[in-house]
Amino acid sequence: DIVMTQSPDSLTVSLGERATINCKSSQSVLDNSNNKNYLIWYQQKPGQPPKVLISWASTRESGVPDRFSGSGSGTDFTLTISSLQAEDVAVYYCQQYYGSPPWTFGQGTKVEIK
């Protein structure tokens, strides 16, 4: 099974500052046949189900503010919030969707305001 490891576990950032979350997979999630990384980023706010922010490692979902961006390939990925807003307080998860199940999640990164 592919193990997903996020860092840090929690992050405190001032409003308007940059937040960076890392996600590392135990094996590559890049499909060389189509050059797609099967890596998803979700945001979960308290009391709510998760919401997809970014798919294919770097494709922002419709309606997601452009301050959210994803990057990386293979085994190392990053979610960046370029200018943290109050409504971005949440837990962020990466998930791999490579090959066949199990589809594994990272342990989550909690983002708070300083």
Partner 1 sequence: EVQLVESGGGLVQPGGSLRLSCAASGLTFSGYWMNWVRQAPGKGLEWVATISSDGSQKYYVDSVKGRFTFSRDNTKNSLYLQMNSLRAEDTAVYYCARETRRRLDCWGQGTLVTVSS
Q: Which stretch binds partner 1 (CB under 8 A): 11-19, 67-75, 78-86, 106-114?
A: 106-114
105 scored as a contact of partner 1 (CB under 8 A): yes
* Structure-derived torsion over alpha carbons of residues 52, 91, 70, 23, reported in degrees to the nearest 10: -120
Minimum distance, C-beta of residue 74 to partner 1, in the bound complex (Å)? 17
Q: Give the residue, chosen from 21, 23, 25, 42, that forms a contact with partner 1 under the rule CB under 8 A.
A: 42
Nearer to partner 1, 16 or 32 (CB): 32
DSSP 105: B
Q: Per rule CB under 8 A, is residue 50 in the interface with partner 1? A: yes
Q: How far apart are CA 36 and CA 6, in angstroms?
A: 20
Neighbouring-strand partners of residue 73: 76
Q: Does 108 bind partner 1 (CB under 8 A)?
A: yes
Residues 114, 65: Cα–Cα separation, whole Å = 21
Contacts of 47 (CB under 8 A, 6+ apart): none
Q: Which stretch binds partner 1 (CB under 8 A): 15-23, 65-73, 75-83, 105-113?
A: 105-113
Six-digit token pair at 94? 């990466």
Query: Interface residues with partner 1 (CB under 8 A)?
Result: 38, 40, 42, 44, 49-52, 55, 61, 91, 93, 95, 97, 100-108
